[in-house]
Amino acid sequence: MIAESMYQELILEHYKHPQGRGLREPYDAEVHHVNPTCGDEITLRVKLGDGGKVEDVSYDGQGCSISQAAASVLYDLATGSTARESLSVVDEFTRLMQGRGQVEPDEDVLGDAVAFAGVAKFPARVKCALLAWMAYKDAVVRSQ
């Protein structure tokens, strides 16, 4: 039952009760990313403030539990942090997801996102977990 380790309680919680979902004003940049193999999609907006502070991340989209929960966790981690800090979390998350289950996650950096460690063992699902995070990275770059 490998999937049991993938569908962590925290992931299911975020899936059932997504944080920060819905598109909001104002925003500096809006991006739309899709995963062509499964049709998952996300529209994501970023609002940056003084000193690169992330004032808001708002998003809407559709997809599987992994992609939806990943967006919700991203919202929690990114808002209130700075663009620079959050991008380093994105890098660590990407490293974990692309590590084929062989990478030891840095919990201090990842926080709740460490719950996705099990997803890395499922190559077909890695893109689901990364969808919102790649969209966020793209939006931050465009905001700066």
Partner 1 sequence: MSLPSLDVERIRKDFPVLSRELPGGRPLIYLDSGNSSQKPTQVIEAMRDHLAMHYSNVGRAHHALGAESTEAYEGARDKVAAFVGAPSRDEIVFTKNASEALNLVAYAFGNPMGGDPRFQMGPGDEIVVSEMEHHSNIVPWQFLAQRTGATLRWFGVTDEGRLDLSGLHELVNERTKIVSIAHQSNVLGTVNPVAGVLARAREVGALLMLDASQSVPHHPVDVAALGADFVAFTGHKMVGPSGIGVLWGRGELLSAMPPFLGGGEMIEAVWMDRSTFAPIPHKFEAGTPPIVEAVGLAAAVDYLSAIGMDAVEAHERELTAHALGALGEIPGLRLIGPGDLADRGGTVAFTLEGIHPHDVGQILDDVFGIAVRVGHHCARPLHLRFGIPATTRASFYLYNTTDEIDALVKGLHHVQKVFG
Q: Where on the chain is the footprint of partner 1 (CB under 8 A)?
A: 1-4, 6-7, 12, 15-16, 37-40, 62-66, 122, 124-125, 128
| Both structure tokens of 95 | 């490293």
Closest CA to 29 of 67, 59, 63: 59
Q: Are 98 and 125 in contact, with CB atoms under 8 Å apart?
A: no
Cβ closest to partner 1, residue 17 vs residue 142? 17
Minimum distance of partner 1 from residue 61's CB (angstroms): 11
Closest to partner 1 by CB, 8 vs 58, is 8
Shorter beta-carbon distance to partner 1: residue 67 or 79: 67
| Smallest distance, partner 1 to C-beta of residue 139, A | 23
Measured CA to CA in angstroms, residue 144 lies from 14, 35, 49, 115, 127 at distances of 29, 25, 10, 30, 25
Minimum distance of partner 1 from residue 8's CB (angstroms): 12
Helix (H, G, I), strand (E, B) or coil at 123: helix
